[in-house]
Amino acid sequence: MTEFLRQLWEPIARLPRSQQIALGVITVLVFAGIILATMWGSQKEYIQLFEEALKIEDAGKVVAKLRELNIDYKLGKDSTDILVPLTDKSYILLQLAQEKTLPQARPGWQKLIDERSIFAGTTQQEFELNYVRGLQEELENGLVRLEPIENAKVYIVKPKKEVFKEDQKEPTASIFLKLKPGYEITKEQIRAIRDWVTTAVEGLKPENIRITDSNARDLSRMLEEDEELSLDRIKSAQLKHKKEVERDLQKKLQSQFEQVFGYGKAVVRVDCTMDFDQKEAISDVVIPPVEGSSTGVTISEKLENEEYRGKDLVQDGEPGVNSNLPPGAPAYPGTENETWNEYKRNAAIRNYEFTRSKEKYVKEQGNLKRLTVSIILDADQRQLGTDAEEQLRSIAQATVGFNKRRGDVLTLMVMPFNRDLEERARRELEERQRQERTMFMMVVGLLMAIPVLLGLVYIFVRVSRARVLAQEQKMLEEAAREAEAIRKAEELRKAKLREQQEAEWERRFQDINNFFPEITDLEEKRRKVQDLRYKAYLYARDNDSLPIDFDEMTPEEQYLYKEAFKRKADGTLEEGINRLLALIAERDRAREDELARLKQEAEARAKLEERVRKMVAAKPDDAVQVLRIWLEE
């Protein structure tokens, strides 16, 4: 470590004073930035320890216990608002629970009913008040268990009982809901909460419940609007169809103008008057069965024909019409001219069959009865011109299907939009983005300064290291030259010693007795030398260099291998091998002869022993005498 610091300081010490000061300032700034970034990144996020407001006494106990346990905390907007680190909240609550310092919960149903001491000696009004309190607490606890609800407050008003029913007021309830961040409550959930509270409170009707959330929204009003729509499903469907038609026309017209003037530069509003009246018309048409004929097919016919002629005089009065006519009226048939009468009657009854067709016409509902369109464009009317405005109006009329006879109205206005809020929001967004970019650039600059500083340090170290290495290289070169000179001197000395040794070996090993002094038998010594020489000659014939373990060999072996390679160099190696083969062959023959002689002697001795053994068995006395004579000889 000391050597590293020394190598690091040496190049810095050689720099000018100004560069040393600049390097020191950069180092201090980098480390200060690292420290600030570390402190900024290690800041703790604090959160409320208890969601509900605490009593001042409970808050004092909790703060005292937090100090006793040496737990980090802060006070919020008031003395009862205790803030703790977000990551330590669960641990702190467990510690407070273990120390029995958690604030006591409000009296609920279990506390008010199970612990009956609170009802001992109470009046009826106090009993009813405690009953309502317990009921409110139980309802609040039940609401908090629902998924989207973080906290809930229930207020129940139960009027006193009257003697007469018409004077009795109905109970009411108000529910305040605080939703969890990111959650939204649906109409089905609101309806379920209302019905649940209705069944829990005696005499409470759904219309007497008001539900409000933390955003000051009347959630029960949403149900009322939905129920008003559900009272008439047909009206709801008609309104939905009307909205869809208006939305479709508005979308087409809006996109068309925004493609020309740009996004957000056109405001389109469409109102449709729809005809949802249903009309039916039934038409009964008679069609002749025969084409071209005006009559039908005759299915029955009845013909009557009467004729009367006479000259009767009316004596007693004529029955029928003539007797009832006033004086002076003509008779039927006339009775004048000597009372001549004539009566004729022809009648025909025919029944025809026709083809009848009944047609029912039902008028379609949802037809567009009247259309009102208003368009505002963000442009300068003077630059746009009257002709362009008329063209835009014509395009809009063609897009929505304008019909003047239907009473449609289309209004087009061209004027610059007021974009103060948009500009303010844009400036705020740009300012926030600029601050974020500045902070990001500061962090990036600090992070980049670290490798720059490390790079400078690395450069200084490398420069100093290079100088040291150059010096060490120079010293190593000098040492290498000295070592080379020593090596050459040593090699020269070894060469001289080797030459002296070889000369000594040449002189020494001229005599066979100097080989292997540990072997005393000359014949055995000669045989070993011949075998070793033959092995060395064969190795020299097959190889071009001395064996790897040459330095580990005995002097005799080294001498014989040297001799073999000298003969190889002189070209007399094969001659030496042949001579050694002849000597070895002659030695082997002599050995075989000696073995044969020894074998014969052994066989003769065996035969003699056999004869003596037989003689001992047959004639012991003679055998003893023979052995005595053999031993004396």
User: Is there a contact between 47 and 83 (Cβ–Cβ < 8 Å)?
Assistant: yes
Looking at every residue in the chain, the average pLDDT score rounds to 76
The pTM of this model reads 0.29
Residue 117: pLDDT above 60? no
pLDDT at 230: 57
| Residue 329's pLDDT band (cuts 50, 70, 90) | very low
Q: State how far the alpha carbon of 22 is from the alpha carbons of 19, 40, 451, 546, in Å.
A: 5, 26, 17, 69
Residue 118: pLDDT above 50? no
User: Is there a contact between 288 and 295 (Cβ–Cβ < 8 Å)?
Assistant: yes
How many Å apart are CA 223 and CA 213, to the nearest integer?
Answer: 14
How many Å apart are CA 139 and CA 200, to the nearest integer?
Answer: 8
Residue 516: pLDDT above 70? yes
How many Å apart are CA 490 and CA 496, to the nearest integer?
Answer: 10
pLDDT at 176: 92
Residue 3: pLDDT above 70? no
| Residue 310's pLDDT band (cuts 50, 70, 90) | low
How many Å apart are CA 593 and CA 41, to the nearest integer?
Answer: 105
User: Is there a contact between 138 and 106 (Cβ–Cβ < 8 Å)?
Assistant: no
pLDDT at 173: 92
Structure tokens at 580: 């050694």
- Cβ neighbors of 107 (< 8 A, separation 6 or more) are 118, 133, 134, 137
pLDDT at 313: 47
More confident residue, 163 or 146: 146
Write the single-letter amino acid at 326. P
Task: Return the closest-CA partner of residue 403 out of 363, 367, 377.
Answer: 367
pLDDT at 451: 76
> Once rounded to an integer, what is the mean pLDDT over residues 426-446?
78
In the block, residue with structure tokens 């005292």: 64
More confident residue, 334 or 74: 74
Interaxial angle between packed helices 573-618 and 555-570, expressed in degrees from 0 to 180 and rounded to the nearest 10: 130
Residue 611: pLDDT above 80? no
pLDDT at 228: 61
Q: State how far the alpha carbon of 67 is from the alpha carbons of 73, 75, 164, 262, 401, in Å.
A: 9, 13, 61, 62, 77
Percentage of the chain lying above the pLDDT 70 cut: 76
pLDDT at 175: 92
The CB-side HSE value for 561 (13 A sphere, CA atoms) comes to 18
CA angle 236, 238, 244 (to 5 degrees): 105
Structure tokens at 629: 């004579």
More confident residue, 51 or 581: 581
Percentage of the chain lying above the pLDDT 90 cut: 2
More confident residue, 41 or 587: 587
Residues 171-220 have pLDDT tens digits of 999 999 988 887 888 888 888 898 889 888 888 888 889 999 888 888 88
Residues 179-188 have pLDDT tens digits of 888 788 888 8
Q: Is the dihedral of CA 64, 65, 70, 73 positive or negative?
A: negative
